[in-house]
């Protein structure tokens, strides 16, 4: 195979994007995880409708997934629930070529198979509201690989016909359209009227997540203060003048004895003191506030935004079997909506591959049933329909007149 470097990579080398601050990581940092989310007020800012760079919002939502594990789990759960698919084109030779390419195609240089491309594409679509992919060709024009493009350094621009959208590299001052737009695939999720980019599934969650992380951070600080118990040793000297002259000396002796008794790794030791000495736990009169109710209220909003039933995220909230079944039906409709968004991309990719190979065919994408439960429900529905048809047939036969040969013949002359 000849040079299979992606066009995206060459554009990035010739026109490097502006320096982007690193994504705030939740590991090994001193500041609270919601510090970057604090700058996001949740209010939409006025933007140009003809040019839009989705990289800024992408960093916010990436930080959101790193900071709130349940959001990250919901995204991966939706990706896994999307299911598989097959592409048919009415041409057996072309279908075999598509099947072989989809099974062995390199994706990003470190994965194989069309499902790796679709999973990463769908994950980017859910997280950032806009997904970008590319079909990479060899120097001879043969399909070589698939590439999931990052939105960093990418700008969407309204085309000259005021209808289509151009994908450009570089900043707003020097936009360069991609050389081969027919090899680039763009999808947006629930775009606003007139907008170029889509809306993330996580839209509206930065503020809610910031409050949630603030509560969890407060719980951590409270447990750090109260879980690691600290003591207050109070010494009240008596009214004896002789004892009062030795207050500082006795206080130092008490401090040394207490430190020796509480020393780590020293085992269990007794602390012996004479006089009026009181030992109290610091903060014992201030219990930790109950965070269960506010945390659940915030989690309910997050779960409602994802569209997943709570039990799929490990939340054991009270729910009846009927309620869970209804939530599963709603989830099925959500996944069907996502499939309708991805189907045009798969059709365009398949059609482009057939044209490059010189093949013809009318491509169709056939998705698998979402889960085994759907298979059971479909089989049960088919059984009920068959039973209803058999019942109608039996009732129809029962209403039929008796066979004419079983009746006595009647003469037309009346004899």
| Backbone CA torsion sign across 205, 82, 66, 132 | negative
Domains contained in the chain, number? 3
The DSSP secondary-structure symbol of 179 reads S
- Output the pLDDT for position 29: 39
- Output the pLDDT for position 283: 63
On whether both 49 and 122 belong to a single domain, the answer is yes
pLDDT over 70 at 234, yes or no: yes
> pLDDT-based confidence at 172, cuts 50/70/90?
low
- Output the pLDDT for position 266: 60
On whether both 161 and 181 belong to a single domain, the answer is yes
> pLDDT-based confidence at 338, cuts 50/70/90?
very high
- Output the pLDDT for position 122: 94
- Output the pLDDT for position 324: 63
- Output the pLDDT for position 146: 93
> pLDDT-based confidence at 224, cuts 50/70/90?
confident
At 124, list the tokens. Answer: 């980017």
On whether both 241 and 94 belong to a single domain, the answer is no
At 37, list the tokens. Answer: 């989310």
CB distance 190 to 338 below 8 Å: no
% residues pLDDT > 70 (the chain): 72
At 350, list the tokens. Answer: 């398949």
On whether both 131 and 21 belong to a single domain, the answer is yes
Sheet containing 111-112, strands listed edge to edge, beginning at the edge strand earlier in sequence: 111-112, 106-107, 143-148, 130-137, 184-188
Distance CA 82, CA 126 (A): 12
On whether both 244 and 135 belong to a single domain, the answer is no
In a domain, 263, yes or no: yes
pLDDT over 60 at 3, yes or no: no
On whether both 35 and 154 belong to a single domain, the answer is yes
pLDDT over 50 at 46, yes or no: no
pLDDT, the chain, mean: 76
In a domain, 303, yes or no: no
pLDDT over 50 at 23, yes or no: no
Which of 281, 306, 340 is the endpoint of a domain? 281
The DSSP secondary-structure symbol of 312 reads G
Q: Which stretch of 185-199, 315-329, 391-405 has the lowest confidence by average pLDDT?
A: 315-329
On whether both 363 and 375 belong to a single domain, the answer is no
On whether both 116 and 182 belong to a single domain, the answer is yes
On whether both 49 and 114 belong to a single domain, the answer is yes
- Output the pLDDT for position 123: 93
Residues 6+ apart with CB under 8 A from 246: none
- Output the pLDDT for position 322: 55
Phi-psi region of 30 (alpha: psi -120 to 50; beta: other; left: phi over 0): alpha
In a domain, 357, yes or no: yes
Distance CA 385, CA 199 (A): 41
pLDDT over 50 at 184, yes or no: yes
pLDDT, tens digit, 9 for 90 and up, residues 239-286: 777 666 777 777 788 787 777 777 766 666 667 676 777 777 766 666
At 331, list the tokens. Answer: 């989830």
- Region 31-51 average pLDDT: 48
Using only C-alpha atoms, the chain has a radius of gyration, in whole angstroms, of 34
**What is the end-to-end Cα distance of the chain in Å, rounded?**
96
Domain that holds residue 70: 7-210+328-367
On whether both 164 and 41 belong to a single domain, the answer is yes
Most confident of 253-257, 278-282, 316-320, 408-412: 253-257
Phi-psi region of 307 (alpha: psi -120 to 50; beta: other; left: phi over 0): left
Q: Find the length of the chain.
A: 415
- Output the pLDDT for position 289: 73
> pLDDT-based confidence at 309, cuts 50/70/90?
confident
pLDDT over 50 at 104, yes or no: yes
- Region 137-160 average pLDDT: 87
- Output the pLDDT for position 44: 44
- Output the pLDDT for position 106: 92
Strands (E), 127-195: 130-137, 143-148, 154-158, 165-169, 176-177, 184-188
- Helix (H) or strand (E) holding 367, with range, is strand 364-367
Distance CA 187, CA 166 (A): 12
On whether both 173 and 247 belong to a single domain, the answer is no
Distance CA 132, CA 157 (A): 14
- Output the pLDDT for position 370: 73
> pLDDT-based confidence at 20, cuts 50/70/90?
very low
On whether both 251 and 194 belong to a single domain, the answer is no
Tokens 């097959």, located at residue: 86
Q: What are the backbone angles phi and psi of residue 61, rounded to the nearest 5°? A: -70, -30
């Amino acid at each position: 195979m000849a040079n299979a470097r992606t066009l995206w990579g060459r554009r990035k080398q010739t026109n490097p994007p502006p320096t982007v601050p690193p994504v705030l990581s939740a590991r090994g940092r001193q500041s609270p995880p919601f510090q970057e989310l604090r700058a996001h007020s949740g209010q939409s800012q006025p933007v140009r409708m003809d040019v839009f760079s989705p990289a800024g919002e992408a960093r916010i939502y990436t930080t959101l997934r790193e900071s709130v594990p349940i959001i990250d789990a919901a995204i991966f759960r939706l990706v896994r629930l999307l299911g598989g698919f097959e592409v048919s084109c009415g041409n057996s030779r072309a279908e075999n070529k598509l099947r072989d390419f989809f099974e062995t195609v390199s994706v990003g240089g470190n994965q194989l198979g069309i499902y790796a491309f679709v999973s990463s594409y769908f994950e980017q679509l859910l997280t950032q509201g806009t997904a970008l992919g590319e079909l990479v060709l060899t120097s001879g024009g043969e399909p070589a690989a698939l590439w999931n493009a990052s939105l960093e350094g990418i700008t969407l621009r309204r085309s000259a016909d005021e209808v289509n959208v151009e994908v450009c590299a570089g900043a707003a001052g020097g936009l360069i359209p991609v050389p081969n737009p027919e090899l680039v695939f763009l999808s947006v999720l629930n775009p606003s009227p007139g907008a170029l980019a889509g809306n993330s599934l996580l839209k509206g969650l930065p503020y809610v997540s910031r409050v949630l992380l603030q509560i969890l951070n407060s719980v951590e600080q409270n447990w750090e203060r109260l879980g690691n118990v600290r003591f207050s040793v109070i010494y009240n000297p008596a009214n004896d003048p002789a004892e009062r002259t030795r207050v500082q000396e006795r206080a130092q002796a008490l401090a040394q004895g207490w430190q020796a008794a509480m020393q780590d790794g020293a085992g269990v030791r007794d602390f012996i003191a004479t006089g009026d000495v009181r030992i109290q736990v610091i903060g014992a009169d201030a219990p930790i506030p109950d965070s269960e109710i506010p945390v659940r209220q915030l989690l309910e909003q997050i779960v409602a935004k994802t569209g997943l039933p709570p039990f799929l995220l490990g939340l054991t909230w009270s729910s009846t079997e009927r309620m869970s079944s209804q939530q599963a039906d709603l989830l099925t409709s959500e996944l069907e909506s996502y499939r309708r968004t991805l189907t045009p991309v798969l059709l365009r990719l398949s059609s482009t591959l057939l044209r490059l190979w010189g093949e013809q065919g009318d491509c169709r994408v056939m998705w698998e049933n979402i889960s085994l439960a759907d298979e059971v429900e479909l089989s049960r529905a088919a059984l009920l329909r068959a039973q209803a048809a058999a019942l109608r047939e039996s009732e129809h036969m029962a209403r039929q007149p008796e066979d004419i040969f079983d009746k006595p013949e009647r003469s037309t002359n009346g004899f």
